Amino acid sequence: MQWLKETAAQLPSKIAIIYQDQTITYRTLYETALQVAYQLNQLKVARIALQAENTLNDCFIIHGAILAGIELVMINKHLTETEIKQQMASVDTSILLSDRQFQTISTHAKSNIINNLSEQLNSPEDNLPNDILSIMFTSGTTGVQKAVPQRYRNHIASADNCKKTFVYTQQSIWLNVLPLFHISGLSILLRAVIEGCTVVLHNKFDAQKIINDIQEKNITHISLVPQTLERLLNNGLNARYTLEGILIGGAKLDERLLSKARAIGLPIYTSFGMTETCSQMITATPDDIAQYPKSVGRITNDIQIFNAHEGIGEIGVRGANVMTGYLYPDNVNDEAFVDEFFLTGDIGYIDNDYLYILDRRKDLIISGGENIYPSEIEQVILNQTAVKAACVIGLQDKAWGSVPICLYEADTDMNEQIEAVLTQHIAKYKHPKRNVRVSALKRTANGKISRHQCKEMFINEDYKA
């Protein structure tokens, strides 16, 4: 499996990547990646860690590693040295490619590789379907992070699944601002090469620059999280232009934001996926959303609900895009799979053959024996008030076991308005015991609100009752 080699032979003059003021054809991408592959082979390792950033050089390194048959351990650029060491050790990786300096990690500068390109790899590795292409760590916020192997067949199946609903072709131009060290960002880079379309790569989220590119570069596809879609709308994205699809993942899209986007004709697709499923597993099209606005798409035989109570249970998935098991720690694999289905940890239900996500299992709040889903509370607040962002967390309570607390971003104190809409829309036992206005909620590198970090912020900072 050498997607870049095949696409470069078929479409040598086709634009592969546009990055800032640089335009790279598939021929140039392939030839440069062969030179990078030669350099990487000199390191004499079968697996290497990469602290990837959204740059053209990192694209060369990713494709170079694939051509050399070297497995890539994708390292989040925001991690501390201790966290990086722990992840590398867990998957027996000794060398890190990075332009940061570390005291206790064997580091090879990415700039040294790119600045010393000369010879090319003579014969690219013929990667097999079951070979590992990338390894990523789950964004789990408690306990040990798990190492997920993403094999070539997983990436191929993921691309095939995506195309069935979020249709793209060789003529598509896909703007990628999602981090390459996340599956969402890496998958776009790989899907483009598999198909032969063009990626417009942004190194950070800048709403005005993205809007300018949408207007000027005939962008057809873009992947976002709800928060970045909202920033684009707030900064002047007011028409569809040439957009054929806006793929939303990472978190729920609230009804208020969805209505705002649809009102100006934006082609919104919502999805459900994770690192273990090699990006999205299921996608709701604009037609699906028009009929079932809260769903994430029509189910297949590869999606089932397990341990259901009154129809609600844990979502299990299977298929060629789903990992076969964690590399680390391997003692969790027996519990992660049931009857060939991977248990996602997400709670949801199926209605009329459409899948609905309620929350992460670990975020479920059990208060006085009642199940409380934080996202249900958040959606009511976001849809019915002027609150900009909300995060409901669960705190231990002697009387109730656990109680919900709502942290929110707003221009003014909105505690009374929040309580009023909650009283109107949801049962009293679900109401947060406190509503706390904060200057900023904690978010991941993808822009997704981190419930775990928000909980830590609340506990550690001095919020008086």
Q: What is the DSSP string of 142-203?
A: SSSPPEEEEEHHHHHHHHHHHHHHS---TT-EEEE-S-TTSHHHHHHHHHHHHHT-EEEE-S
Tokens of 226: 């709800």
Q: Is there a single domain that holds both residue 100 and residue 249?
A: yes
Q: Is there a single domain that holds both residue 240 and residue 370?
A: no
β-pair partners for 198: 173
| Domain final residue, candidates 263, 294, 319 | 263
Answer whether 135's CB lies under 8 Å from 91's CB. yes
Q: Is there a single domain that holds both residue 18 and residue 154?
A: yes
Q: How many domains does the chain have?
A: 2
CA atoms of 242 and 290, how far apart (whole Å): 21
Question: Within 10 Å of residue 265's Cβ, how many Cβ atoms?
Answer: 13
Compute φ and ψ for 4, nearest 5 degrees.
-65, -40
Residue 116 structural domain:
3-263
Answer whether 40's CB lies under 8 Å from 113's CB. yes
In a domain, 154, yes or no: yes
Q: Which amino acid is at 8?
A: A
Q: Is there a single domain that holds both residue 22 and residue 162?
A: yes
What mean pLDDT is predicted for residues 41-70? 97
In a domain, 307, yes or no: no
Q: Is there a single domain that holds both residue 378 and residue 242?
A: no
Q: Is there a single domain that holds both residue 249 and residue 398?
A: no
Q: Is there a single domain that holds both residue 73 and residue 195?
A: yes
227-286 pLDDT, tens digit per residue, is 899 999 999 999 999 999 999 987 778 888 999 999 999 999 999 999 999 999 999 999
List, as own/partner pairs, every contact residues 359-362 make where C-beta atoms lie below 8 angstroms and the sequence separation is at least 24, other chains included: 360/451, 361/314, 362/141, 362/142
In a domain, 308, yes or no: no
In a domain, 174, yes or no: yes
Q: Is there a single domain that holds both residue 192 and residue 72?
A: yes
**Mean of the per-residue pLDDT values of the chain:** 93
Instruction: Provide the pLDDT for residue 93.
Output: 97
Q: Is there a single domain that holds both residue 142 and residue 13?
A: yes
186-204 pLDDT, tens digit per residue, is 999 999 999 999 999 999 9
Q: Which pTM does this prediction carry?
A: 0.85
Compute φ and ψ for 147, nearest 5 degrees.
-95, 120
Q: Is there a single domain that holds both residue 397 and residue 249?
A: no
Query: What are the C-alpha distances in Å from 260 to residues 255, 267, 411?
Result: 8, 12, 20
Query: What are the C-alpha distances in Å from 345 to residues 137, 165, 396?
Result: 16, 24, 21
| Domain final residue, candidates 231, 263, 295 | 263
Answer whether 446's CB lies under 8 Å from 136's CB. no
Lowest mean pLDDT among 140-149, 166-175, 209-218, 373-382: 140-149
Q: Is there a single domain that holds both residue 245 and residue 371?
A: no
In a domain, 222, yes or no: yes
* CATH for 127: 3.40.50.12780
In a domain, 335, yes or no: no
| Domain final residue, candidates 241, 263, 285 | 263
For residue 453, how many C-alpha atoms fall within 13 Å in the half-sphere facing its CB? 12
In a domain, 281, yes or no: no
What mean pLDDT is predicted for residues 373-396? 92
Question: Within 10 Å of residue 293's Cβ, how many Cβ atoms?
Answer: 15
Is pLDDT of 143 > 60?
no
Instruction: Provide the pLDDT for residue 139.
Output: 57
Is pLDDT of 3 > 90?
yes
What confidence tier does 140 reach under pLDDT thresholds 50, 70, 90? very low
In a domain, 136, yes or no: yes
With H, G, I as helix, E, B as strand and everything else as coil, classify residue 220: coil
Answer whether 176's CB lies under 8 Å from 223's CB. yes
Q: Is there a single domain that holds both residue 89 and residue 229?
A: yes
* CATH for 406: 3.30.300.30
